A and B are shown apart, each in its own frame.
Chain A
Amino acid sequence: MGSARAPSALLGTFRAASHRPAVAWRQRCCYHSHEYTQPAPFPPAESAILSSALSHVPSYGFTADALRLGARDAGYMDVSTNLLPRGVFDLINYHLVTQRLALKNAVQFPSTADQGKKLGIGAKVRTLTLARLRANEPIIHRWQEALAIMGQPSYVPTSLAELARLADELWYLAGDDSVDSSWYTKRASLSAIYSATEVFMTQDKSKDFIATEQFLDSRLGDVMKMGGFIGALSEWTDYTAHSAVNVLRSKGMRV
């Protein structure tokens, strides 16, 4: 008994010793949400109904009928759709949230060691945005209905918040780590580009959505140009203002 305990105790100390640096490292580091598993975004009953309702969207659209059929598939009844207080909007929201969360696993960038050249952040954002747009493919012919419902005044704030979360997710997954004011402008411009491209895609009849891809590229190009222009403009303004102040100072003005 005693001899049995001794090795285990010894092992315990070793283990403790070997674990200590890791624990200390954990403690020194701040909390990073990506290191922990996140709770499921929807309760089980809701997600069962909504996920089976989504499979009826291509034929029934974003309607209460799709919800009812989904409820039946999930073993519930027509009346159980009362579990979703916002009705069809909950279905749209489910699609948006699950597709946003799926991006993390859907797109994997090769690590830098594998390739000689590192993929730029701009290219990564493009890939991610395209991946997110392609997730709408099965229901794109019904997506205008969803856009109309999202545009209803009571749902606009939630829809915009979800768009902001998507833009943030795209930049985060692309590896953007800016901590200056460009954090805001990047997300704002990507939100605008994404929503414009999404609307374009609902009317895109080209094969494999080539036109959508081109549209996205030219919008990203616009932002790049705009960004460059604004950067140059602000640099010029900054330089000119400083020179003006210095000229005035050299003339003896107390500025």
Chain B
Amino acid sequence: MNAQAARVLFRRQLFAGGRRGVGTVAREQHRCFSCTARQSQQPQTPPKTTQNRDGTTHFGFETVAEALKEQKVRGVFSSVASSYDTMNDLMSMGIHRLWKDHFVRNLNPGRNPLTSGPYEQKGWNILDIAGGTGDIAFRMLDHASNINHDAHTNVTVADINPDMLAEGRKRALETPYARSPRLNFIEANAEKLDMIPDSSIDLYTVAFGIRNFTHKEEAIREAYRVLKPGGVFAVLEFSKVNNSLFDAVYKRWSFSAIPLIGQLVAGDRDSYQYLVESIERFPSQTEFRDMIKDAGFLVPGQGWEDLTGGIAAIHKGVKPA
């Protein structure tokens, strides 16, 4: 795997070198700082469905075999796990923290024992998918404990990637929840949550994760299965910018600056190239809303809330009771 990656990188550099000498031969085959932005502006023809008939799916702008995507995504996140937070701060200029805070505050997790009256269930069962580093989980627990005075709400953090989970466990040590039963980490694929029984979860969240799933529909169906009737499916994910002028600026930033920052700070250009390409390939607000509806969820209002002009969006679905 490593040797292969090195070979690919070498080939890219070779191509890039060749271009400068020869001219515009094989423009599509290489990716470099100056041309990724251009590439992003060229009309892409992404396949409408996430999976094709011949068992391939997309990995950024590349088309790869379905079986390979999971492995490749794992590779990307293993390589970025250690510098995840620094990179998020640099790429979003710190705004990702505001999005996550808003996401959690809006969901308002936790049951206030003083105002909510008697009720058989203490606290919520929250499942945070693709939440390896615990970003959302710690916020949820903080909100439940500090705002709602709820000492029973528990969060299960599931991630497909053991490196991200290790990062989360390490960070958990700095929070009051490290040794408490309120926080669990499990390694799981969101498309097959066999260890979680039907109708057992109050709140299912995915923050910046569903984009990387090989089969999004299957993951949403699985979410529907594990949620209790009345439970909420909440997704925080990159989306489509509404204003075309702002979109141009944003595309410029994401396709030229983000891979560069990745290269300079994390020493890993390809992973961040994948990141921006996967954002580009993610369905628009309405398409994703319809995917949630098709799985049987009720959607609140128009179905989503745009953040920062649509760079990110919060989608919600409620399982009918």
Interaction A to B: yes
Interface of A toward B, CB cutoff 8 Å: 43, 45, 64-65, 68-69, 71-72, 74-86
Q: Return chain A residues, CB-CB under 8 Å to B230.
A: 71, 75-77, 79-80
8 sample A-B contacts, Cβ–Cβ < 8 Å, listed by A number: A64-B108, A76-B229, A76-B230, A78-B116, A79-B107, A80-B318, A82-B300, A86-B301
Q: Return chain A residues, CB-CB under 8 Å to B116.
A: 65, 68-69, 78
Q: A59–B124 Cα gap in the complex (Å)? A: 25
CB distance from A45 to the nearest CB of B (A): 5
Across the interface, do B234 and A82 meet the contact criterion of CB distance under 8 Å?
yes
Asked if B231 CB lies within 8 Å of chain A CBs, one says yes
Q: A83–B302 Cα gap in the complex (Å)? A: 11
Across the interface, do A83 and B202 meet the contact criterion of CB distance under 8 Å?
no
Across the interface, do B117 and A45 meet the contact criterion of CB distance under 8 Å?
no
Across the interface, do B321 and A76 meet the contact criterion of CB distance under 8 Å?
yes
Across the interface, do A74 and B321 meet the contact criterion of CB distance under 8 Å?
yes
Asked if B111 CB lies within 8 Å of chain A CBs, one says yes
Across the interface, do B321 and A83 meet the contact criterion of CB distance under 8 Å?
no
Interface of B toward A, CB cutoff 8 Å: 106-109, 111-112, 115-117, 119, 124, 202-203, 228-232, 234, 298, 300-302, 305, 316, 318, 320-321
Q: Return chain B residues, CB-CB under 8 Å to A76.
A: 229-230, 318, 321
Q: Return chain A residues, CB-CB under 8 Å to B300.
A: 82-85
Known contacts A74-B321, A77-B228, A77-B230: does B316 contact A69 (CB below 8 Å)? no
Given contacts A77-B202, A82-B300, 20 further A-B pairs with CB under 8 A are: A43-B298, A65-B112, A71-B230, A74-B321, A75-B321, A76-B230, A76-B318, A78-B124, A79-B124, A79-B230, A80-B230, A81-B108, A82-B232, A82-B316, A83-B300, A83-B316, A84-B300, A85-B301, A85-B316, A86-B301
CB distance from A145 to the nearest CB of B (A): 15
Q: Return chain A residues, CB-CB under 8 Å to B318.
A: 45, 76, 80, 82-83
Q: Return chain A residues, CB-CB under 8 Å to B301.
A: 85-86
Q: Nearest residue in B to A60 (C-beta to C-beta)? A: B115
Q: A78–B230 Cα gap in the complex (Å)? A: 9
CB distance from A67 to the nearest CB of B (A): 10
Q: A206–B300 Cα gap in the complex (Å)? A: 41
Q: Nearest residue in A to B123 (C-beta to C-beta)? A: A78
Q: A78–B298 Cα gap in the complex (Å)? A: 16
Q: A68–B230 Cα gap in the complex (Å)? A: 12
Known contacts A45-B298, A71-B230: does B321 contact A79 (CB below 8 Å)? no
Which of A65, A68, A74, A78 has most chain B Cβ within 10 Å? A78
Known contacts A43-B298, A82-B300: does B117 contact A69 (CB below 8 Å)? yes
Q: Nearest residue in A to B234 (C-beta to C-beta)? A: A82
Q: A85–B229 Cα gap in the complex (Å)? A: 19
Q: Pick the contact of B202 from A65, A75, A79 — CB < 8 Å?
A: A79
